[in-house]
Amino acid sequence: MKRFERIALIGFGEVGQILGADLAGVATLSAYDIAFALPESAPSRAVAAADVRAGSNPADAVRGAELVISAVTAAADLDAARSVAGALDPGAVYLDLNSASPGTKQAAAAIIESGGGRYVEAAVMTPFPPKRLASPMLLGGVHGLEFIARAAPLGFRATVISDEIGPASATKMCRSVIIKGLEALLAESLLTARFYGVEADVLASLSDLLPVGDWPKLAEYMISRSQAHGARRAEELGEVSVTVAEAGVQPLMSRAAAQRQAWAARQPRADSPGLGPMLTTMRAAFAGPDAPPERHAS
Cα–Cα distance, 297 to 198 (Å, whole number) = 9
Q: What pLDDT is stored for residue 1 in this prediction?
A: 79
Q: What pLDDT is stored for residue 298 in this prediction?
A: 46
Residues constituting the chain: 298
What is the average per-residue pLDDT within 228-250?
95
What is the average per-residue pLDDT within 72-89?
96
Domains of the chain: 6-165 (3.40.50.720), 169-284 (1.10.1040.10)
% of the chain exceeding 70 in pLDDT? 96
Q: What pLDDT is stored for residue 289 in this prediction?
A: 64
Choice between 296 and 268, residue whose per-residue pLDDT is larger = 268
Q: What pLDDT is stored for residue 286 in this prediction?
A: 77
pLDDT tens-digit series, residues 245-283: 999 999 999 999 999 999 999 999 999 999 999 999 998
pTM above 0.85? yes
pLDDT tens-digit series, residues 8-44: 999 999 999 999 999 999 999 999 999 999 999 999 9
93-113: b (≥16 Cβ within 10 Å) or e: bbbbbbbbbbbbbbbbbebbb
Q: Using an 8 Å Cβ cutoff, are 105 and 113 in contact?
A: no
